[in-house]
Each structure stands twice: as structure tokens, then as C-alpha cells.
Amino acid sequence: MSRLIVLDTETTGLSAENGDRVIELGCVELFNRKLTGNDLHIYFNPERESHEDALKVHGLTTDFLRDKPKFASLASDVVEYLRGAELIIHNAAFDVGFLDKELELAGHPPLRSFVAEITDTLAMAKSVYPGKRNSLDALCDRFGVDRSNRTFHGAKLDAQLLADVFINLTRGQDALLIDVASDEPTQGRMVSVDLSSFELPVLLATEHELAAHDELLVQLDKASSGRTLFRQLSAAPVA
């Protein structure tokens, strides 16, 4: 199983190219689709004011951020934390654009050069729920994810909410074979399960089910002019 990092940022505005900066980074780590607690949460001093509209969203004032570290001073730590992981981001182009600009200013290569993959949950949601609202708030409501303690947008809180949303979006994509006796990471190995200790029940078809099956085959025979594959295979001699 891959190491997943659910990531979110807060910024001073909407345009990294026009000088807006990252002011908060929140990361939540998942391994084997379980929270590990190895999270990352940092506030940064952007050395500039937040736009009024952005401030209304995140509530992080210049006074609060004044004594926080600059991104460049912790860029190496951020790179090492994210290295090799699959990043899960909602509207990934926005956060990736800002982080790439911060990394560039700090003398580091862009995200895609050292992470395994970047998955955009907004694109995923649009493919599953086309034509519907697919903001993080809308997805939380759709999946029943509790966001009642969310007054402002915060990178760490939003990453936690997105982790829950991601699990719901990808439910059913769990590994078919799991080690039921251990929670240790499998490091990508296929794990087999010994079924010898399980008594597996044999459920036989009822007379009604058998009759319904035969009737269906009759209808299929009529529709296919006698070319029903099931009948051909069942009539073939056993080698």
C-alpha cells in the first residue's frame, strides 16, 4: 500500500504568480487507508498582508503570522515529509501551484519531481457526481462528514475533513486480500489469508431458484438461436 498524504493550504490570496504566499500547510498521513498520526501542520509568515476576501476565509491575521517561520526556512523539512508519497488534494492545481512557487523561491524542485503521484479529489468527485456541487463542504454534507466545528477554513482541519471524504469517495477500492492478524504495514507486498481455519458454508440453490435458472436459459436459447454459452460449456465433456 502506498503512503498517502492528504494536503491543504491557506494563502494570502488567489495568485502565486502575482506574489501571494502560503500561510498555512496542513497534512494528514494515511497508510493502508488508516490515519497514522504522523501529520504536519505549519503556519508561515508570508511577509505580506492577506487580501480582505482571503482573510474572511481563513481568519489568519498579519499579527498572528508575524512571529511564524518563513517557508524557506522549513522547505527542506516539507520536502522530506512529502517525498515519495501520493498527495491527495482538493482542487490540486491551486495548492500545487502555490507550493511549487514557494519551493522555487526556496531553491527546491517542484512537487512532482519528488512525490509519487498527485490525486485531485475535485476531479474524482466530478467524475462520480457530474453536474452536482463538489466543493469540500458539499462532499462533507453528501457523505455525512461532521464539519460543525469549522468556523474558518484551516489547512489542518480541511485536510482531516478531506481524508474522510477521500475514504468515502474510494470506498470499495480496498485491497481484496488483507492480513487479518496484523496491523503492520505490508510495504506493498501481496498478503494472503489462510482460510483453513474458517468453516465456509455451502449454500445450495433451492428448487425454485433452479427452476428460475432453467427458465432463463430457455429464454436465452430462444434469443440466441441455441448458442447459449452456459449450455455449451455444461454439455462439453470433462477432460
Q: What is the C-alpha R_g of the chain?
A: 26
Alpha-carbon distances, residue 208 vs 101, 116, 140, 220 (angstroms): 67, 53, 45, 18
Catalytic residue flag (residue 58): no
Alpha-carbon distances, residue 3 vs 76, 114, 197, 231 (angstroms): 19, 13, 32, 48
Angle 78-82-87 (CA atoms, 0-180°, nearest 5)? Answer: 130
C-alpha torsion sign, points 48, 51, 54, 55: positive
Report the C-alpha dihedral over residues 88, 90, 91, 94, rounded to 10 degrees: -70
Amino acid letter for position 32: N
Contact 33, 27 (CB under 8 A): no
Q: Please identify which of the residues 51, 153, 208, 213 carries the catalytic annotation.
A: 153
Active-site residues: which are they? 153
